[in-house]
């Protein structure tokens, strides 16, 4: 995990001192993402600046420093994440100078097979930017699942990009405006990433499996991969082989390692497989003190897994008072309102892991989106027993999200009215933008299309949350199940084979592949969500925070009848939204800023 940033001019050379100050501002805003000082590079033509804050995980020597150039100096690359290898032909245009993955990627992106082919074959999680001095072309790319973020903005006849929105704001070139219709839309769909738009009006996000090509003055975006749906049975042995390969690839590290244990199948299997390989990895689990959170039996199941492998489990506790105090801090990190409460738990867990000297963290997120969710409860169109009408446009645009959380739906309807936002327009955007990925696999069955939606929308939301909360503590989170080979198996497999048609069944096909790694109670455990605080006292503490912070956009108090129905999530959303909007108004993100001069030096 690193932080990358840069500027690409669309109208010729820029002042080199200005480009240097731009790089310093953006790396300064992302210094928490690395353990090495920020470094920048400016092209000889004065048209491109690339910058990096490096977290050295493999080859911690100076040889792995970024920006990294090819031996002939023609291609210069900055990279965030980890690339473990390639599933395709591997070009080796020059002998390796390091055992750092950055050099491996640098050799691949210059391949004569082309950008799409090179990116499609990469195994790993990555956000990349590279410049070709001979052609003047610059490319930005994001990994297949969006594990690593990459945001950008068009400014001053140029394109700014970075790993975080705060780095863009630090330049003073991006207006931190929030569009009220976009705010309502993103709040309405809650834990689904809408599309390339973000919570900030002038900031866009490169989508998973896409690359953006800048050949001034042209800017083009291409998708280089999507899974091919199939109907060919996949057996446990094939799944296990792909899983073992994914674990093996991700086991390389020159720094201490930890694992997040929830007591569920996914994180437990990753931890167990690493232990069987002889990899030293310390397990951690989160527990709300006093039972204020959901998934209260996480600790008991995590202890079973740790004990089975003779490991000492660290239990990280979070009290209701600590959770409330974290709301403004975590809101600053995720750069949006809090939508669930899992953000608080993840931030606390990563903070404890980092405090004990760990740098790489293994997790299981991504498995549900590929192999689970078939007993309904989150996304109805992935429920085999659902009525036919739930696959229709009217249900998906008008009822899907409010049916999932009725109070949340009524709150957003009220907010839209107060903000003069047209909910008919919002629902149209749900269809055109949020559910675009549901419609991409046009020939596939609705359940498989729903699976694709989960991967491209909900999982991206999860990945962004994980990156924001882990990078705050200079950690690299490695999600083993977000492996291309595993994902392609999941999309090839008939959906009805993934879970038995019995109440509470969940991921039976995946469990059969991983059964020997796990204690029986973990295999039999029903699906649990990531814990979020739910205690009555905590809810009242968040209500007090909302009273102190005021309503988002200066809205009046919620009507009395609706106010009494608001739960912890709704209150936390309102309070954190108010805190975030206030910080944006004060332009507090990412200071200090570089000087504003942009004239090329003579």
The residue extents of the domains of the chain are 3-223, 226-587
Cα–Cα distance, 577 to 200 (Å, whole number): 13
SS (H, E, C) 115-155: HHHHHHHEEEEEEEEEEECCCCEEEEEECCCCCCCCEEEEE
pLDDT value at position 595? 46
Q: Is the peptide bond before 217 cis (omega within 30 degrees of 0)?
A: yes
Q: Is the peptide bond before 67 cis (omega within 30 degrees of 0)?
A: yes
pLDDT value at position 35? 85
Strands (E), 510-550: none
- Local structure of 463: helix, strand or coil: helix
pLDDT value at position 56? 76
Cα–Cα distance, 148 to 146 (Å, whole number): 5
Report the CATH superfamily, name and number, of domain 3-223: Aminohydrolase, N-terminal nucleophile (Ntn) domain (3.60.20.10)
Cα–Cα distance, 209 to 145 (Å, whole number): 7
Helices (H), strands (E): how many in the chain? Answer: 24, 17
User: Comparing 3-223 with 226-587, is the CATH topology the same?
Assistant: no
Q: At what angle do helices 265-276 and 298-308 cross, to 10 degrees?
A: 20
| Pairing assessment for the beta strands 360-363 and 257-260 based on DSSP bridges | parallel
- CA within 13 Å, CB half, 39: 17
What pTM was computed for the model?
A: 0.94
Q: Which two structure tokens, joined as six digits, stand for 570?
A: 């709704």
| Pairing assessment for the beta strands 360-363 and 476-479 based on DSSP bridges | parallel
pLDDT value at position 422? 98
Cα–Cα distance, 416 to 11 (Å, whole number): 40
- With a CB cutoff of 8 Å and minimum separation 6, the contacts of 122 are 83, 86, 87, 105, 108, 143
pLDDT value at position 485? 97
The CATH number assigned to the domain with range 226-587 reads 3.40.50.620
Burial 332-343 (b: 16+ CB within 10 A, else e): bbbbbbbbbbbb
- With a CB cutoff of 8 Å and minimum separation 6, the contacts of 411 are 558, 562, 566, 570
User: Taking a C-beta distance cutoff of 8 angstroms, is the pair 212, 131 a contact?
Assistant: no
pLDDT value at position 597? 41
For the chain, which ranges sit under pLDDT 70?
Answer: 1, 59, 61, 63, 290-296, 374-385, 501-505, 529-532, 588-602
């Amino acid at each position: 995990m690193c932080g990358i940033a840069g500027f690409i001019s669309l109208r010729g050379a820029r002042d080199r001192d200005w480009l240097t100050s731009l790089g310093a501002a953006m790396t300064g805003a992302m210094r928490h993402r690395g353990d090495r000082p920020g470094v920048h590079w400016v092209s000889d033509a004065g048209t491109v600046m690339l910058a990096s804050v490096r977290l050295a995980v493999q080859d911690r020597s100076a040889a792995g420093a970024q920006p990294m150039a090819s031996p002939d100096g023609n291609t210069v690359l900055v990279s965030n994440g980890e690339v473990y290898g390639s599933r395709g032909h591997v070009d080796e245009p020059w002998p390796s100078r390091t055992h750092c993955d950055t050099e491996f990627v640098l050799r691949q992106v210059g391949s004569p097979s082309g950008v799409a082919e090179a990116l499609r074959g990469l195994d790993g999680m990555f956000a990349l930017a590279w410049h070709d001095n001979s052609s003047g072309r610059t490319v930005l790319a994001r990994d297949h699942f969006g594990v690593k973020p990459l945001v950008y903005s068009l400014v001053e006849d140029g394109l700014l990009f970075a790993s975080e929105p705060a780095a863009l704001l630090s330049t003073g070139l991006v207006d931190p405006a929030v569009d009220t219709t976009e705010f309502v839309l993103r709040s309405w769909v809650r834990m689904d990433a809408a599309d390339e738009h973000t919570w900030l009006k002038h900031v866009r996000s490169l989508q998973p499996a896409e690359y953006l090509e800048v050949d001034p003055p042209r800017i083009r975006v291409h998708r280089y991969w999507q899974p091919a749906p199939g109907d060919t049975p996949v057996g446990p042995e094939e799944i296990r082989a792909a899983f073992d390969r994914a674990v093996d690839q991700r086991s390389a590290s020159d720094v201490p390692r930890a694992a997040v244990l929830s007591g569920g199948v996914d994180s437990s299997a990753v931890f167990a497989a690493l232990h069987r390989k002889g990899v030293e990895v310390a397990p951690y689990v989160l527990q709300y003190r006093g039972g204020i959170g959901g998934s209260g039996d996480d600790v008991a199941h995590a202890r079973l897994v740790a004990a089975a492998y003779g490991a000492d489990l660290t239990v990280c506790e979070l009290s209701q008072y600590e959770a409330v105090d974290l709301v403004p801090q975590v809101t600053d990190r995720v750069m949006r309102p809090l939508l669930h409460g899992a953000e608080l738990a993840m931030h606390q867990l990563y903070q404890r892991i980092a405090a004990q000297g760990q740098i790489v963290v293994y997790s299981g997120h991504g498995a549900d989106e590929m192999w689970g969710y078939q007993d309904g409860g989150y996304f109805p169109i992935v429920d085999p027993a659902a009525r036919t009408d739930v696959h229709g446009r009217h249900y998906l645009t008008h009822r899907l999200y409010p049916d999932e959380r009725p109070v949340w739906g009524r709150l957003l309807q009220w907010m839209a009215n107060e903000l003069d936002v047209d909910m008919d327009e919002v629902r149209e955007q749900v269809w055109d933008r949020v559910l675009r990925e549901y419609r991409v696999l046009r020939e596939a069955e609705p359940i498989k299309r729903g699976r694709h939606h989960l991967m491209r929308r909900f999982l991206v939301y999860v990945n962004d949350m994980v990156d924001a909360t882990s990078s705050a503590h200079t950690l690299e989170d490695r999600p083993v199940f977000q492996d291309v080979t595993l994902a392609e198996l999941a999309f090839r497999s008939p959906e009805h084979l993934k879970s038995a048609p019995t109440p509470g069944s969940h991921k039976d096909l995946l469990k059969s592949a991983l059964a020997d790694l796990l204690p029986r109670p973990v295999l039999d455990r029903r699906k649990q969500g990531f814990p979020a605080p739910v205690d009555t006292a905590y809810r009242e503490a968040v209500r007090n925070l909302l009273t102190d912070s005021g309503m988002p956009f200066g809205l009046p108090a919620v009507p009395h009848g609706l106010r009494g129905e608001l739960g912890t999530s709704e209150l936390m959303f309102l309070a954190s939204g108010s805190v975030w909007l206030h910080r944006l108004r004060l332009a507090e993100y990412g200071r200090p800023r570089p000087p504003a001069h942009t004239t090329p030096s003579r």
